[in-house]
Amino acid sequence: MAYDEDDSGNNKRYAIIGVSSMLLVAMVVAVTVGVNLNNDEAGGPTSGTKSNEISASVKAIKSICQTTDYKKDCVDSLKSNANNSADPHELVKAGFKAAMKLLQAAAKQSVTLQQLEQDPRASQALAGCKELMDFAIDELKFSMSRFGDFDTTHLDEMLIDLKIWLSATITYQETCLDSFENTTGDASEKMKKALKTSMRLSSNGLAMVTEISSMLTDLKVPGIGRRRLLDAPVVVGHEDYPEWADPGIRRLLAAKGNVKANFVVAVDGSGDFKSIQSAIDKVPKRKNNETFVIHIKEGVYKEYVTIKKSITHLMLIGDGPKKTIISGHKNFFDGITTFKTATVAVTAEHFRARDIGFVNTAGPHKHQAVALRVQADKAIFFNCEMHGYQDTLYVHTMRQFYRDCIVSGTIDFIFGDAAVVFQNCIFLIRKPLSNQQNIVTAHGRKERRQPSALIIQNCTFKADTDLAPVKNVFRSFLGRPWKEYSRTIIMESYIDDVIHPDGWLPWSGDWGLKTCFYTEFRNYGPGSDTSKRVKWRGVKVLTPAHAVDFTASRFLLGDRWIKATGVPYAPGLTMRRHSEV
């Protein structure tokens, strides 16, 4: 709705007052997960005489819960922890305390089940569930810190952050359940039952935050809305640097040649460390978000690297993706859950990598084998390569940006539930086993409100050298819906004739075909003809105005954290055509 200039200040104040209360209560719903998970350990709701008088707290809770899909769970969870308080701060305090206790109980329960479990694969899945719940707890703690000081200046960013983090919480729980694939025993059913309510409440929290964002857009509150996402200058940190950057990071990301590094890793012993993990383990705590740079010299590093969430603002620089290579071979066939097969796993925010190769050498006969798993918010990979076969690149959660990278594989070799943009990348489709077919992407968006998508812009799809001579023998597809609301956008890209005319492949029967969101916009090349594509309800046709919504500037707010790094970056549509590939 429109408003006069004289009323804009009042409108903003009223909206902020309202949204602060709604936002804080929404946080309660989002974090009060698993209320029925373990009442013996976490403590269930206390019984007592019901009051005939409906408190202000109950009225507020019922009103807010109307926006959710699971209203009863929403109301019950808040009523049991609100203590009849109408103070949003008290509600948040009670909600966070309950959430932390319940998630810790869930993690403890997974450990208990693991000790009793006889199936090694199920036992490993339970261990993974504990790790995933720990990730969820970390996200909730970070959210509490971020929203403790309610910053109206960057309210849109705060709401977007919250949706990203809540989406990750949903994905972590779903990943826990996914890890029980091909296990025996009843551990899977026990965890599914344990997570039922927590997943509903996470969904409810995301629903309410989405409603708040829509409400503010409708109110036309300054700082909220699509135009702001495109037009606003970078007003964070100092000058044009984002909040994570220290002076010189732009130069480091753009550098071609020797760089000034804090640590040097060299497999031949000529650096400070011989292994990458040993260097990462020695990264000191820093103040003011100072970026720590590790130079990894040329060589093949046969090791498994984990960058923990506590090691933020880390940058790895190699000597080139074909010279500096991190190589592993863990795989699902040998009894390891997909989540744990990664050669390199990154969970720390503001991670940067350039000129590095990430490889899983397990081969196609070993099935799922991840080269790189990323769940780091605002992560950037520049001039890197990821090579494997099935499940090469696991874009698990959060916001990610890939520029000038090469990714190779066979089945679902780019998969996950991140909000991710690939620009100027090459996707090499490799030769699979004789009974297999190739699928480039498998997006894992479970909830319709999750702000995640695989966005591929100005990239190239083509057969690798081993597939090219026999590309007509094996069918290859752009993607398939791993989860019900899978969302993949391919635009302004070159698609070679390796791609089957159908374009998209079902996962199983009609699963997700009506609810997915798949689209191709202004692509070109012999495989880009959409006239013979599948006719699912979930395959969409984009207008130029809608396509802009999926550009890096708008979808990722990339002007605020990508642009200032110096990495080549297209904020909007490029309208570019390749004359040759």
* Residues making up the chain, counted from first to last: 581
DSSP sequence for 116-150: H---HHHHHHHHHHHHHHHHHHHHHHHHHHHHHS-
Residue of 423, 416, 377 lying closest to 398 (CA atoms): 377
Give CA–CA dist 37/286, Å, rounded: 38
DSSP letter for each residue of 464-496 = -TTTGGGTTTS-EEEE--SSTT-EEEEES-EE-
Cβ-count burial 331-365 (b if 16+ within 10 Å, e if not): bbeeebbbbbbbbbbbbbbbbbbbbbbbbbbbebe
Query: If phi over 0 gives left and psi between -120 and 50 gives alpha, with beta otherwise, what is residue 571?
Result: alpha
> Cα separations (Å) of 532 from 359, 367, 541?
35, 30, 14
Closest CA to 355 of 253, 217, 263, 266: 253
* Cα–Cα distance measured from residue 260 to residue 332, given in angstroms and rounded to the nearest whole number: 39
End-to-end alpha carbon distance in the chain: 48
Q: Which of 412, 417, 496, 559 is catalytic?
A: 412
CA pair distance 72, 226, nearest whole angstrom: 33
Do 478 and 499 contact (CB within 8 A), yes or no? yes
Task: Report which of 168, 197, 190, 177 is spatially closest to residue 128, judged by C-alpha positions.
Answer: 177
Q: Establish whether 502 is a catalytic residue.
A: no
For strands 372-374 and 385-387, give the pairing. unpaired
Q: Which helix (H) or strand (E) holds 430?
A: none
Token reading at 377: 């918010």
Strand order in the sheet with 539-540: 263-265, 292-296, 314-317, 352-354, 379-382, 399-403, 419-423, 453-457, 487-491, 517-521, 539-540
Give, in degrees to the nearest 5, the angle at Cα 581 between 474 and 414.
50
User: Can you tell me whether residue 438 is helix, strand or coil?
Assistant: strand
Q: For CA atoms 385, 564, 455, 400, give the dihedral sign.
A: positive
Please give the positions annotated as active site. 412
